[in-house]
Amino acid sequence: MTKAKRRGEAGRKAKTRPTREVLEEHKEVLKTVALFLALCFALNFAYFKIAGDQRVPREVTAFLVALLLNIIGLNAAANGSFVTVGGRVGDATVNIIGECTGIFSIIVYCSVVLAYPTGLKQKAVGLLGVPVLYGITLVRLSSTALVGAFVPSLLDLFHTYLWQVFLIFFVVLLFLIWRDKVVEKNEK
C-alpha cells in the first residue's frame, strides 16, 4: 500500500465517529426537532377534531375578508365560505377553503415557538405572533380577491406562487424576530 493511500484510509477512519456519539452531541437539537414534529402532528390532529369540516373557520375568514374589502371601499359580500367582489371584468368569487384560513402556517409557527428551548414567558410572548399571522392571511386573501376581480390573468401567480412563498417567508421572519428580540434579549 502506498503512503498516500494509507494516509487517505487513516483520514477516513479518523473522520468517522460512532452514530451514538454524533447523536449524543446533537441531542438537544434532535429533542427540539422531535418536539416540533410532535406538536405539528398534535395541533393538526386537534384542529381537525375540533373544526371537523372547517366550516366555521372558513366562514369567519370569508366574513373578515369581505369586511376588509368593504373597509377599503370595494363592494364585497360573504356568503358562507365564498367572497364575491366586484371588479372591472365583473364579479369575482373566491372560495375560502380550509387551507386558506392560515391555520397551517399558524400551527407550524406555534409548534416552533413551543418547541424552542426557552421559558414559558418567552413562549407566551411568541404566541402573540398568531394574530399577526392571521392578519397577514386576511391581507393575502383580500389581495388575492382583488387580483381575481381586477386582473384575473394574474390570479394563479398571486395565489399559488407569490403569496405561498411570502407566507413561508413571513412565518420564518416572525420566528426569527421573536427569537432575537425576546429570547436572545432575555438570555443576555
pLDDT digits (tens, 9 = 90+) for 8-57: 555 555 467 777 777 777 788 889 999 999 999 999 999 988 888 899 99
> Does 104 reside within a domain?
yes
Cβ neighbours, 10 Å, residue 183: 18
Tell me which of 59-73, 109-123, 149-163 is least confident. Answer: 149-163
Residue spans of alpha helices (H) in the chain: 3-15, 19-25, 27-51, 55-71, 103-115, 120-126, 129-150, 155-156, 163-178, 184-187
pLDDT digits (tens, 9 = 90+) for 105-118: 999 999 999 999 99
- Residue 148: helix, strand or coil by DSSP? helix
> Which residue type, as a one-letter code, is found at position 184?
E
> Does 9 reside within a domain?
no
Q: How many domains does the chain have?
A: 1
- Quote the pTM value: 0.81
> Does 67 reside within a domain?
yes
> Does 35 reside within a domain?
yes
Q: Residue 45's domain spans which residues?
A: 27-187
Q: Is 126 exposed, middle or buried (0-12, 13-18, 19+ CB in 10 A)?
A: buried
- Residue 22: the pLDDT is 72
Mean pLDDT in residue range 73-84: 91
